[in-house]
Structure 1
């Protein structure tokens, strides 16, 4: 599933996400230009702007996030940043990391400064340079606030631009047909970069002009094995499946079985969230717009996956509170999207108690079967018995990916409509062809239905918004529609330009491989429009930083034996149920039942531990021997466990 949780490097992540050439057209963003016409920035709706100081300041509606933007003529970025913090009256400690970041369009270079946490307060800075001028962004906020309004921070950071920034404008451009040498170059790029990005294998499909122009497997299905990845190999596609869920919903709307503005309770009478009034008014569309203000709560289905079904997950929504108002900030909730899929099943005749099976049936009947996607499924048992299914791989503390048991991915069945789909390169090429055919009126849904799915509902960055199951981006003046998918051991991407009539599918058997799929997508777009190869240099900067972080994780030491012995036991949370800390030789394991991971001391914060391998890699833990408690996670996703021994 798409992981949009704030990372430690929120500023650097924001830079990577800003490839568009124009601000997304949305009433919740406001462009402001410096009176001297040196730069402009974007103010998210509800944020306050203060131009009285030497730097322009933005503050969140609650006042718990502050952003500052300005210019410096200094030659040294580190000196410029230190002076900037002093200028705004918030002197900062020395940064714990200073790392290059991929430069955005309009800039020549970028550097991110990451500071030690101050309690639950996070500070970061970004310096972007062009023509000898330094454009500085300062970020300070409480972690929970940054999680609540991270998308709005991203909007502001990606909207900060030089007024005279040069940008390639491809508005209205129609690319020529990709030549054989272009397709060979794309294939060579994938093949040559598998090892550099630490991937066992990948499958890539390109569709242009209604035809599949490239469909090829690369690498192997499992590390250490010889079985090749092929166009018919099954891989998990994660949140790319959300696009299928909303497309099926659109088909039911066309058939009159469902309405986007219909209250969810009219279909599922027991539906409820924490707010009784919202429980009555939330509509079918609200479930899949990522604009409702519901925070991400993935741990609550992952920790209990073995005991959950559709009806139980829907019941759990009764405890869901909302961070922000509807349409105010992008918030990604897998449980809400899954409920959208189950609503579709109920609208198609599934009874309460059979919503999981009903959703699988409606997906097969209304999407997979009509398009001939015979190897696409939600049936985990079918995949487990398949001799041509890829093995998932995930990163660990040694800085390289290793195989995960296939059963690990079964945890996602708890929210199947949100991203437990399996498919193949060949099937996804069929899906992409059908999507590109929508403009001609002969697709699987009507053009007006797809226009509704891709109408922006909430901004994600200065150039990208979220529709209903789709990201909609202004890429150099072209409309780019896409969605990525992340599971524990697979990463995927589907992206297409409807006006240009071309698109790409990228499937991999490696978790957290977004850098690779983004690099392949960028190379495809460069070849499509005959642009110079520029993205790869930025991708290598990001990859070098990933290698640096991996080196830091590799230094993590095992929990001392006496501390591990004191911590060993069973712990219970009112939300995540029961977990176990147990020793296996010299290793201390955090075991949630569905899977386990080794615990080590965080090399950057010795007062806490991290999960050092497995699906929960890098998640923090804090053990309090006096209170007999264990804290998992941080910020809004912080859960307290009490010892039960």
Structure 2
């Protein structure tokens, strides 16, 4: 399962076992041999890294700079380029670093206690996308956004890097269509028949303005120690976050809303009667039922 803490601990294990720091280990054993000469891991707060772009997030007047204040590594903190990441992508095919056995182990998917197999493997998501086997992952820190999608059987993929937090989640999919569209199955939306669309439209939930207003408020996740604020604007439920900016939450079924890729879906507790808007739970590719509790509820 996805766990930042686990990979930070793993980085510490690598450092202790090798006798050198994790950034040094990666430079000597991974980045150097692959020719990734423009890739480094930030090892201390405020470290100066040559030619690094600033990161930005939108505000009411345009954009503001957002600083990466973390010096933790193992689960992040790596600065790279598209060209260098293309070299890493190619390593999945060649096994130049690690060897074929390690590449194979990296793709072993997790299994839950009930035997269900999940898409998350060792630091990557493994599965199928539009009829093709795929290895992929996304990342975000401060205002930086990254996406990595590799099709082993097509011997190619797409890497996107951005230094603005509101770049949107559609860009990787759009680029995939340009380069690989003819070799991929139709996107799910293209496969929908008129009957399917009508059934979905008939079963969709259309909350009233009063219902949306009941959900507006400030919600806090103790696990993430972060806050999302919900408000109603133009008849729609909107979310906002200090790092992600403002985004729309679209109703999909009763008490459930879908947001951008970084957010996922939010399901409000519908069993509490008048207190239904006290909490919601978020699920996406990284988390399942992550609890947010309203802090301004009276």
Question: Shorter-chain TM-score category?
Answer: 0.5 to 0.7
CA distance in 2, matches of 1:636, 1:340: 27
CA distance in 2, matches of 1:532, 1:454: 25
CA distance in 1, matches of 2:75, 2:294: 23
For the 8 Å contact 1:523–1:533, the answer to whether it is kept is: no
User: How has the CA–CA distance of structure 1 residues 530 and 335 changed in structure 2, closer, same or farther, with 3 Å as cutoff?
Assistant: closer
Unaligned runs of 5+ in 2: 193-211, 217-221, 247-262, 264-277, 282-289
CA distance in 1, matches of 2:54, 2:191: 30
Q: 1:452: how far off?
A: 1.0
User: What's the counterpart of residue 447 of structure 1?
Assistant: 100
For the 8 Å contact 1:494–1:505, the answer to whether it is kept is: yes
CA distance in 2, matches of 1:338, 1:344: 10
User: How has the CA–CA distance of structure 1 residues 360 and 385 changed in structure 2, closer, same or farther, with 3 Å as cutoff?
Assistant: closer
User: How has the CA–CA distance of structure 1 residues 454 and 491 changed in structure 2, closer, same or farther, with 3 Å as cutoff?
Assistant: same
1:193-272 equivalent positions in 2, closer than 5 A:
none
User: How has the CA–CA distance of structure 1 residues 603 and 531 changed in structure 2, closer, same or farther, with 3 Å as cutoff?
Assistant: closer
SS in 2 for 1:479: strand
SS in 2 for 1:436: helix
Name the structure where strand makes up a greater proportion of residues.
Answer: 2
User: How has the CA–CA distance of structure 1 residues 536 and 423 changed in structure 2, closer, same or farther, with 3 Å as cutoff?
Assistant: farther
User: How has the CA–CA distance of structure 1 residues 339 and 481 changed in structure 2, closer, same or farther, with 3 Å as cutoff?
Assistant: same
Matched, 1:636 2:259: no
User: What's the counterpart of residue 132 of structure 2?
Assistant: 478
User: What's the counterpart of residue 375 of structure 1?
Assistant: 38
Q: 1:502: how far off?
A: 1.7
Matched, 1:403 2:57: no
Deviations 1:157-203 (A, max 9, x none): xxxxxxxxxxxxxxxxxxxxxxxxxxxxxxxxxxxxxxxxxxxxxxx
Matched, 1:427 2:81: no
Q: 1:431: how far off?
A: 1.4
Matched, 1:490 2:144: yes
1:599-638 equivalent positions in 2, closer than 5 A:
602-604=230-232, 614-615=242-243, 617=245, 636=291
CA distance in 2, matches of 1:537, 1:404: 41
Q: 1:495: how far off?
A: 1.6
SS in 2 for 1:519: helix
CA distance in 2, matches of 1:531, 1:431: 26
User: What's the counterpart of residue 272 of structure 2?
Assistant: none
For the 8 Å contact 1:486–1:512, the answer to whether it is kept is: no
CA distance in 1, matches of 2:140, 2:91: 23
For the 8 Å contact 2:130–2:185, the answer to whether it is kept is: no
Larger RCO: Structure 1 or Structure 2 (Cα < 8 Å, ≥ 6 residues apart)?
Answer: 1
CA distance in 2, matches of 1:529, 1:344: 40
Q: CA RMSD in A?
A: 4.4
Q: 1:454: how far off?
A: 0.2
CA distance in 2, matches of 1:604, 1:453: 44
Deviations 1:333-375 (A, max 9, x none): 211221112111112125xxxxxxx111111111111112111
For the 8 Å contact 1:491–1:514, the answer to whether it is kept is: no
Q: 1:394: how far off?
A: 2.3
User: How has the CA–CA distance of structure 1 residues 636 and 501 changed in structure 2, closer, same or farther, with 3 Å as cutoff?
Assistant: same
1:500 to 151, 154, 168: 154
User: How has the CA–CA distance of structure 1 residues 526 and 348 changed in structure 2, closer, same or farther, with 3 Å as cutoff?
Assistant: same
Larger radius of gyration: 1
User: What's the counterpart of residue 199 of structure 2?
Assistant: none
Matched, 1:509 2:168: no
For the 8 Å contact 2:57–2:164, the answer to whether it is kept is: yes
CA distance in 1, matches of 2:10, 2:183: 37
Give TM-score, length-normalised by structure 1: 0.30
1:366 to 4, 29, 46: 29
Q: 1:506: how far off?
A: 1.3
2:19 to 330, 339, 349: 349
Deviations 1:474-526 (A, max 9, x none): 23443111111122312111121223322221111122545234323531564
CA distance in 2, matches of 1:389, 1:611: 30
SS in 1 for 2:243: coil
Matched, 1:469 2:134: no
User: How has the CA–CA distance of structure 1 residues 480 and 463 changed in structure 2, closer, same or farther, with 3 Å as cutoff?
Assistant: farther
Q: 1:468: how far off?
A: 0.8
Q: 1:469: how far off?
A: 0.7
Question: Aligned pairs, how many?
Answer: 223
CA distance in 2, matches of 1:401, 1:429: 32
